[in-house]
Structure 1
Amino acid sequence: MSRPSRTTDRDRVIWHMRCRPDTTPDAHRQVLDLLGEYTPLVQPLPPLAALAQLTGTRRLFGVDPGELAQRARIQALTRLGVDLHIGVSDAWSTSATASARVGRSGVLYLPDHRAVTAFLAPLPVDAVHGIGPAQAAALQRYGLHTVGALAAMDETVVCRILGGKTGRVLRDRARGIDPRTVTAARMPESTSAAHAFDTDTLDPVLVRAALLDLVVTLAERLRGREQTARRVTLAVRLAGGATTERTLTLPAPSAHTDDLRTATFRLLDAMAFQRARLRRLTLIAEDLRPADEGPGTQLSLDPARENRLRLEPVLDRINAKYGHRLAGPAGAYLKAS
């Protein structure tokens, strides 16, 4: 079976950019505009990351991709006051892994196959971009503890452990191969809420209670703005510092607590954390649009749900008058999930 070929700087260079966790959504948008001065191929990765694909950097700018990334980082600091970490390579997943390990310089440039291999090989296997805790644990049970071990393992064996498509994709990424390209897109309108645990936790009750709190916060905010959300993204930071996220598109744009709760808990269940300790939860409502652009509320034939939908405006008015979150959903929401 033929494998995707490695590209070179003449073909493409991909920057993966991360903003500091305290960066505001408005500052993130300004960073995207700054990246647009270097290339039209900028893809936002909410809440605080982005991709940029460049070609011919030495010919156009007179410097190599790493030096150009340093220039962009300095401009972000001086013009916007935003600190960026940028990973630079010829593959999306490799650049994303590099941007999380830039060190004090803020930029990590991997110019060729030798540099990519030397960087990836000693990393723990859970550093592969896109791998989940359960998948990493499965590889470790078979003695594959580093990215280099995964890259060197026979593809058939990896596919037996992780499944055909997943095994091939993760093994390719461990070898620095990722055929995905950057798709130019506008930053979607979004709003987010986050919860940081006092100590790393694996208690599912505490995790779900925190998520429910975030759901209610976002739902109230959307209804207050007369907006609806089309997508929901859940980003989870683990005890080791790694971050994983998933996105779900709602059947129809909604600002109802019920709909956002259902989508959010589906995302959490799909992540299959098992015994992983969690440090921070971020919930993002994306692709926002005016409420009057969406379809009207449909009859669900569920009396309990219909009662909750009728109560939402009443609860919103109580909270607006007497204080945020004075009234909210009952604990039965957790049991229903």
Structure 2
Amino acid sequence: MNTLHIDMDTFFVSVERLLDPSLNNRPVIVGGSPLERGVVAGCSREARRYGVHSAMPLRRAYQLCPRAVFLYPKFVHYAEYSERVAEIIVDSTPVTEKASIDEFYADVTGCERPYGNLFEWAKKLKRTITGETHLPLSFGLASNKFVSKVATGVAKTRGDICVPVGGERRFLAPLPVGMMPGVGRVLEPELLAMGIHLIGDIARLSPRIFVHMYGKSGQVLHEHACGIDRSPVVPYRKRKSVGAEHTFHEDTLDVPCMLSTLQHLAMRVGRELRERRFLTNTITLKLRYADFVTKTLTQRCDYTNHDMNIYALAEKLFRRLWTRRVRVRLLGISTTNFL
């Protein structure tokens, strides 16, 4: 298997600079005004030098880099450029997966005959994408999705790396555990506290240690550290919705209980949106009464994937939708229209 991973470099900022070239070489932070509640959606390399990173509160980003240009996201433009990139990759590869608005996989297994040297072909594809969209990107080519994604991370910015088949474990071993996709701000400190600093440290230990600590995800963690990933490239098709529902153990009229449930549902939906790197601008609330009468209400909003934004709109929809003094059996939140 040969898998190509493509990641558009500082995608939101790169699009903003195409729209306004005066932003070139300046610290840029996309997310909104630092005077408002919100988080960083994307930032330039110049801003990252000051410690700014994605998902950081905008107020904190301003404290670190007050000279930065703060911009409200232009998600319609980001979506347009993302689709242009996707079209080029889809037209050039047999199987393409759009992992997020700025990240793609392509399965090029068995394509040596039509493409020739796959690494050189991937470089040509990179030049094509950059030439047609004027957007910078990095890529990694390896035997599976996990290793190719890590390779892209090592290659950034505007770089490219090919990991030869059989060399996965050797490539991964000296890299810090924080470079492993899926090792976040919770897991990384735990591994460091155990004296595990490098990906190779995980690979050298028994997988039973990680299975005992983390269950099935621990097994996957160890396999990834050894350069093993069995997940296939999933053909590109737009996900229609992300949502969550809760059926009450007993039908209820308890408003605080229902609002608390909505908060938990919003957290679940927001977490999945962020994991998939989706943004939504359409939220639907579903309410089912004890007599099984079901009502739904939908409203558009600014693109978001944050729990509190989803909850705030869901609460408004709930108060508009709950019009009968009948106990409630089920509540649900769903989101559509993704970037």
Distance 2:114 2:278 in 1: 39
Q: String of CA shifts for 1:114-151, please: whole Å, max 9, x gaps.
A: 2x233211111122222232222222222111100001
Question: Aligned letter for 2:152?
Answer: S
Secondary structure of 1:75 counterpart: helix
- Aligned partner of 2:109 in structure 1 is 55
Question: Aligned letter for 1:266?
Answer: R
Q: 1:258 to 1:51 in 2, by over 3 A?
A: farther
Query: Is residue 179 from structure 1 mapped to residue 233 from structure 2 by the alignment?
Result: no
Secondary structure of 1:100 counterpart: helix
Question: Aligned letter for 2:268?
Answer: R
Shift of 1:39: 1.9
Question: Aligned letter for 1:128?
Answer: M
- Aligned partner of 1:120 in structure 2 is 172
Secondary structure of 1:298 counterpart: strand
Q: Summarize the alignment of residues 114-263 of structure 1 with structure 2, pairs less than 5 Å apart.
A: 114=167, 116-163=168-215, 165-188=216-239, 230-231=241-242, 249-251=243-245, 262-263=264-265
Given that 2:137 and 2:157 are in contact with CA atoms closer than 8 Å, whether structure 1 keeps it comes out as: no
Q: String of CA shifts for 1:60-112, please: whole Å, max 9, x gaps.
A: 1122x221111111001111222221111011111111112214552111122
Query: Is residue 66 from structure 1 mapped to residue 119 from structure 2 by the alignment?
Result: yes
Secondary structure of 2:244 counterpart: strand
Q: 1:93 aligns with which of 146, 151, 154?
A: 146
Distance 1:120 1:107 in 2: 16
Q: 1:43 to 1:329 in 2, by over 3 A?
A: closer
Q: String of CA shifts for 1:2-44, please: whole Å, max 9, x gaps.
A: xxxxxxxxxx211111113224111111111111122231111
Shift of 1:297: 5.0
Q: String of CA shifts for 1:45-64, please: whole Å, max 9, x gaps.
A: 1221111101223211122x
Given that 1:129 and 1:173 are in contact with CA atoms closer than 8 Å, whether structure 2 keeps it comes out as: no
Q: 1:139 to 1:329 in 2, by over 3 A?
A: closer
Given that 2:138 and 2:157 are in contact with CA atoms closer than 8 Å, whether structure 1 keeps it comes out as: no
Distance 1:181 1:87 in 2: 16
Q: 2:4 aligns with which of 3, 15, 36?
A: 15
Q: 2:279 aligns with which of 280, 284, 290?
A: 284
Distance 2:184 2:81 in 1: 30
Residue identity (%): 20
Q: String of CA shifts for 1:183-238, please: whole Å, max 9, x gaps.
A: 1122447xxxxxxxxxxxxxxxxxxxxxxxxxxxxxxxxxxxxxxxx21xxxxxxx
Q: 1:76 to 1:150 in 2, by over 3 A?
A: same
- Aligned partner of 1:27 in structure 2 is 81
Distance 2:114 2:261 in 1: 48
Query: Is residue 40 from structure 1 mapped to residue 94 from structure 2 by the alignment?
Result: yes
Given that 1:29 and 1:187 are in contact with CA atoms closer than 8 Å, whether structure 2 keeps it comes out as: no
Shift of 1:154: 0.9
Question: Aligned letter for 2:180?
Answer: V
Secondary structure of 2:267 counterpart: helix
Structure 2's unaligned 5+ residue stretches are 16-77, 247-258, 303-310, 317-339
Q: String of CA shifts for 1:157-205, please: whole Å, max 9, x gaps.
A: 2222323x1111001001110001111122447xxxxxxxxxxxxxxxx
Distance 1:94 1:300 in 2: 49
TM-score, with structure 2 as normaliser: 0.56
Q: 1:270 to 1:122 in 2, by over 3 A?
A: same
The total of aligned residue pairs comes to 224
Secondary structure of 1:172 counterpart: helix
Distance 2:261 2:131 in 1: 42
Distance 2:102 2:271 in 1: 24
Secondary structure of 2:101 counterpart: coil
Query: RMSD across aligned C-alpha pairs, in angstroms?
Result: 3.9
Structure 1's unaligned 5+ residue stretches are 1-11, 190-229, 232-248, 272-281, 320-327
